[in-house]
Amino acid sequence: MSTTTTNPGPARGPIDHEVRDQVIVAATEHFRLYGYEKTTVSDLAKAIGFSKAYIYKFFESKQAIGELICANCLREVETDVRRAIDGVDRPPEKLRRMFKMAVESSLRLFFEDRKLYDIAASAATERWQAARSYEERIQAMLQDILRQGRETGEFERKTPLDEAAGAIYLVMRPYLNPLLLQYSLDHTDDAPAQLSSLVLRSLSP
Amino acid sequence: MSTTTTNPGPARGPIDHEVRDQVIVAATEHFRLYGYEKTTVSDLAKAIGFSKAYIYKFFESKQAIGELICANCLREVETDVRRAIDGVDRPPEKLRRMFKMAVESSLRLFFEDRKLYDIAASAATERWQAARSYEERIQAMLQDILRQGRETGEFERKTPLDEAAGAIYLVMRPYLNPLLLQYSLDHTDDAPAQLSSLVLRSLSP
């Protein structure tokens, strides 16, 4: 028993984890209310009731906190999309759902609550790791759907898989990337369906 | 002779036209150097050497001047695109060229000379008439190419023409609209070719 209490390694682990979570929850709420760009780590420390030095023990910068919040948001979009895809069988319908849900979920997260848009915009502008791995995961999802559709014979097989997935990703990008999405709000009602139809025509065997 | 000098109608016509042209040329140069947003009509008047009141005789607002400059710019892009299209025979190649040239020409006009981006961005944000009719003309060009490809049997005929053209326009939009283009600069080398290929696959009969 004395081993576990005196060994700082295993004991610190869960505590670190809890404090980090506490900072993230409080910071998400704070950014949601006051915006990411305008908030400093000092503001955040004051709001959370921790010292600035204490926060810096767990996060090396404001961006490190923003990155985690952003990763959580993008993970949420991804979960929504995955659930929408898993709800249907046929690859063409999966593709339609993927596009539709990605737009709906992004709009909800970044625009209903305009303050979180700030973080997403910084992530996209500065190409944070969170934004880059989100892009990669979306492209991987696309490749999976294409592979399934090729197996069922519903999609053509001539175009190299990564070429097809890359081009479809480019078609979706204006509705996934928050910087572009802000200028596409007039099109979010119709574009997903219109573009899904075009993409599906491009995939017909 | 006395008729022409005392009749303000016919005599004013050509003079108005010349003065307007003079203002436009000077204003284009001025905006190019100092940006559209920051320039006032007073700045412009001082720079051109006309009185503010005199400029207001010909243009009702700064935006009216901006609209004309913007219309000229977009007309230039359109001329480049039309020349590129006319240089080839086959509709699929016309489509590739159209996409490629529209991007190249927009990049040159709005980004090499970052100051003119200002005007284009205002035009797109506030949906000026110049921007709207440009969109319409680009869509009409797309419909023409589609119609030709349907006649030669190179494009499918099942999808309603306006639906097909509308969706292709949406695919091109991030590379035509300067607000979106500013966030797509990483993709301007490859996207036109990749997306043209996807679009052409969607059009195959």
On the question of pLDDT at B33 being above 90, the answer is no
Q: How much of chain B exceeds pLDDT 90, in percent?
A: 42
Reported as a single tens digit per residue, the pLDDT across B120-147 is 888 888 888 888 889 999 999 999 999 9
Q: Where in chain B is the domain with CATH 1.10.357.10?
A: 67-203
Ranking A66-75, A104-113, B5-14 by mean pLDDT, the lowest is: B5-14
User: CB neighbours (10 Å) of residue A168?
Assistant: 27
Residue B9 or residue A153, greater confidence: A153
Q: Which residue of B has its CA nearest to A162?
A: B194
- One-letter amino acid for residue A172 of the chain: M
Mean pLDDT of chain B: 86
Reported as a single tens digit per residue, the pLDDT across A77-93 is 999 999 999 989 999 99
Residue A26 or residue A197, greater confidence: A197
- Check CB contact of B183 with chain A, cutoff 8 Å: yes
Class of domain B67-203: mainly alpha
Superfamily of domain A64-203: Tetracycline Repressor, domain 2 (1.10.357.10)
CATH architecture for the domain at B2-60: Orthogonal Bundle (1.10)
Q: Where in chain A is the domain with CATH 1.10.357.10?
A: 64-203
- The model's confidence at residue B13, banded by pLDDT at 50, 70 and 90, is low
CB contact under 8 A, A167 and B202: no
Mean pLDDT for A41-68 is: 88
Q: What is d(CA A47, CA A60) in angstroms, rounded to the nearest whole number?
A: 18
Q: Give yes or no for a contact between A123 and A70, defined as CB atoms under 8 angstroms apart.
A: yes
- Check CB contact of B167 with chain A, cutoff 8 Å: yes
Mean pLDDT of chain A: 86
Q: What is d(CA A98, CA A91) in angstroms, rounded to the nearest whole number?
A: 10
Q: Where in chain A is the domain with CATH 1.10.10.60?
A: 2-60
Mean pLDDT for A129-146 is: 92
CB contact under 8 A, B124 and A183: yes
Residue B152 or residue A181, greater confidence: B152
On the question of pLDDT at B96 being above 80, the answer is yes
Query: Which of A177, A194, A201 is closest, CB to CB, to B183?
Result: A177
Could you report the predicted ipTM of this complex, rounded to two decimals?
0.83
Q: Give yes or no for a contact between A203 and A156, defined as CB atoms under 8 angstroms apart.
A: yes
Query: Which of A167, A173, A195 is closest, CB to CB, to B167?
Result: A195
Q: Give yes or no for a contact between A48 and A26, defined as CB atoms under 8 angstroms apart.
A: yes
Q: Measured between CA atoms, how close is B44 to chain A, in angstroms?
A: 30
On the question of pLDDT at A98 being above 90, the answer is yes
Mean pLDDT for A139-157 is: 96
Q: How much of chain A exceeds pLDDT 90, in percent?
A: 41
In chain A, where does DSSP find H-type helix? 2-6, 8-34, 41-48, 52-58, 62-86, 91-107, 114-125, 129-151, 161-176, 178-181, 191-203
- The string of DSSP letters for chain B reads -HHHHH-HHHHHHHHHHHHHHHHHHHHHHHHHHH-TTT--HHHHHHHHTS-HHHHHHH-SSHHHHHHHHHHHHHHHHHHHHHHHHHT--SHHHHHHHHHHHHHHHHHIIIIITHHHHHHHHHHHHTT-HHHHHHHHHHHHHHHHHHHHHHHTTSS--SS-HHHHHHHHHHHHHHHHSHHHHTT-GGGTTTHHHHHHHHHHHHH--
- Check CB contact of A164 with chain B, cutoff 8 Å: yes
- The model's confidence at residue A5, banded by pLDDT at 50, 70 and 90, is very low
pLDDT value, residue A13: 52
- Check CB contact of A189 with chain B, cutoff 8 Å: no
On the question of pLDDT at A111 being above 80, the answer is no
Locate B163 and state its tokens: 């639906």
